[in-house]
Amino acid sequence: TQAARQTTNNSNECKENGPNNIAAQTFTFRELATATKNFRSECLVGEGGFGRVYKGQLSTGQTIAVKQLDRNGVQGNKEFLVEVLMLSLLHHPNLVNLIGYCADGDQRLLVYEYMSLGSLEDHLLDVPHDQKPLDWYKRMKIALHSAKGLDYLHYKANPPVIYRDLKASNILLEKDFHAKLSDFGLAKLGPTGDKTHVSTRVMGTYGYCAPEYQRTGQLTPMSDVYSFGVVLLELITGRRAIDTKRSNHEQNLVTWAHPYFSNAARYPELADPLLNGDFPVKGLNQAVAIAAMCLQEEETARPLMSDVVTALSFLTLSPQDDDDSPFLTESSPDSDYTECINHPSQDHRDQMSQERQKALAEAMEWGSTHTALSRATSINSSCA
């Protein structure tokens, strides 16, 4: 089929440019049926437009997650082949590990490592009344891990990859809330050489897609940066990207939050009520500023994911560390940095870039100093 030929072309390109070979195991349908007790409902852990996900156990004792694709679902044969290809070639601590797949007859199943804590959506957007909500530092840790996964895809994978479907349900969590990106069926190889974008049919999830991608079908790494901004805003607010249960003006998260971006004094009003005010105001201000930068209408005004990783790495620090950081300074509505973030006109764009680099340099300098001080304290304690 044309889809299979296209995927074969992508496979050849990946093999020519990347050092890894396809390493995923092949499983028989019988093996996976046995592992999931014939796909019993008690083993069902997730469901969506693509099909169902079951928890299973291989004969080796390894716990796995088995995604059984719905033959009439949104993820077709092409997406299945793309996902096998992508996850076989891509390896990073913040990408879910594909163990293998099954393509017996018309069966299409993917076998992943089992992520014991489910998805970010389970812990952030579908929180039962008897479940403790995510605290601020866990939220920032999940944001950082997701950013690291995207940074790897954009700038360290060869060839580069655009994820195209970042959302809370695709961020999976294991013990200690270590986060990994999953579901690569919509991923695309990024532009190479002199190309600035790849053109493709608009896919993804409403509420997370970058506006320029929705308009033109032109996909760049900055499209993922916008989606990340939406997820970061979800982590800050505890609100869904699209929530039709809310009043009309609050249904779209980005539209609702946008007026707050122009007034840093109102940033704390964006905080999830479930946090009960238990968050560092400095850290929240910086997180909102990062989200606002990622959500710029003009894609060239958005930061690189490497910049985002650097900034977020200092928002996951403990409260004691937080107070000493010159990077997490109190934001004021009329600060130059905030002005650049909120009003990225052509005149401000160069200044915004310079201010961002300055802030990141200050953050890294503080990080080095803090690490040295911690090491010295540890040595003194052991000597005592």
Structure token digits, residue 382: 């052991």
323 among known catalytic residues? no
Q: Check whether 170 is labelled as a binding-site residue.
A: yes
Among the listed residues 141, 128, 101, 355, the one whose alpha carbon sits nearest the alpha carbon of residue 232: 141
Q: Check whether 138 is labelled as a binding-site residue.
A: no
Exposed, middle or buried, 178 (CB in 10 Å: 0-12/13-18/19+)? middle
Q: Check whether 67 is labelled as a binding-site residue.
A: yes
Cβ-Cβ contacts under 8 Å for 261 (sequence gap 6 or more): 288, 292, 295, 341, 342
Catalytic residue among 165, 224, 272, 307: 165
Which amino acids are annotated as binding site, given as ranges? 67, 170, 183
Which amino acids are annotated as binding site for Mg(2+), given as ranges? 170, 183
Which amino acids are annotated as binding site for ATP, given as ranges? 67
Q: Active-site residues: which are they?
A: 165
